Amino acid sequence: MFDREEAEAPPIWPAFGDLMACLFGIFVLFFCWMVLVEVSLTEDLRQVEAEKAATEERLDRLERALAGPLASGLITLTDGRIGIRGSVLFDLSSAQLRGEGQRLIRELAGPLRSYLGERGEALMVSGFTDDLQLRANGAFADNWELSSERALTVTRELVAAGLPPEWVFAAGFGAHHPAAPNDSEDNRQLNRRVEIAPVPRPMLARLTGVSTDEEADSVE
């Protein structure tokens, strides 16, 4: 009886073979997926490295183009953002460019235009002040107005020096966002400054309501 039941038991090898085939198929699919992921990650990494190298090259070119003002200490350059001390550009509580400041802005305009054209970016000119209150009978109501007028003055000078007006805009921040604590005259001088920074043109388009296509047409 035992031998008959043993002989009638279904063979397990075909089922085992099917199971192994399924496992092997799953392994092959997983292996192919891993290869595709690795290839995709490698391509993404190469693209990121290429973009980083291109950005570093453009920054190097901009730094070389601005070597004179950088060496003289008239400007600073950090990640493509130019910082200019207020005393270089303006007299105290004034928004009228000094002769030195006007020459500096005109010297910056050419390299900035080339840099922006290569990157397809726009330029944000930001004015900042210290926290000292202005005289009540002065030309400006407060530091907001002074910083805004200074940013506008630099913007107009850049446009007069050849930057397309569609590529540049101004913003005033008053005594907010200081570069250093307003606890000494040296620090207040650091806070009285103008910064010129590249920004994506889509950001400018959102702010102004002008599309990048319209912008390009107007420049042409």
Say what the pLDDT of residue 123 is.
93
Say what the pLDDT of residue 219 is.
44
Using DSSP, state whether 82 is helix, strand or coil.
strand
User: Rounded to the nearest 5 degrees, what angle is found at the Cα of 198, between the Cα atoms of 165 and 48?
Assistant: 135
| pLDDT over 60 (residue 215) | no
**Mean of all residue pLDDT scores within the chain:** 83
Write out the two tokens for 52: 């980083």
Residue 98 is classified by DSSP as P
**Domain segments of the chain as ranges:** 12-65, 72-219
Helix, strand, coil percent content, the chain, rounded in steps of 5: 60, 15, 25
Architecture of domain 72-219: 2-Layer Sandwich (3.30)
Higher pLDDT, 1 or 47: 47
Say what the pLDDT of residue 40 is.
77
In this prediction, residue 197 has a pLDDT band, given cuts at 50, 70 and 90, of very high
In this prediction, residue 154 has a pLDDT band, given cuts at 50, 70 and 90, of very high
CA 184 remoteness from chain centre: 31
Average pLDDT over residues 16-41: 76
Cα–Cα distances in Å, from 195 out to 40, 150, 174, 179, 200? 39, 11, 13, 11, 16
Nearest to residue 157, comparing CAs of 208, 96, 213?
96
Q: Is beta strand 121-128 parallel, antiparallel or unpaired with respect to 168-172?
A: parallel
Whether pTM > 0.75 for this model: the answer is no
**pLDDT tens by residue, 108-153:** 999 899 888 888 889 999 999 999 988 876 789 999 999 999 999 9
CA dist., res. 124 & res. 126, Å (int): 6
Say what the pLDDT of residue 212 is.
45
**pLDDT tens by residue, 47-101:** 777 777 766 777 788 888 888 889 888 999 988 889 999 999 999 899 999 999 9
Let me know: does 145 contact 100? Beta carbons within 8 Å: no
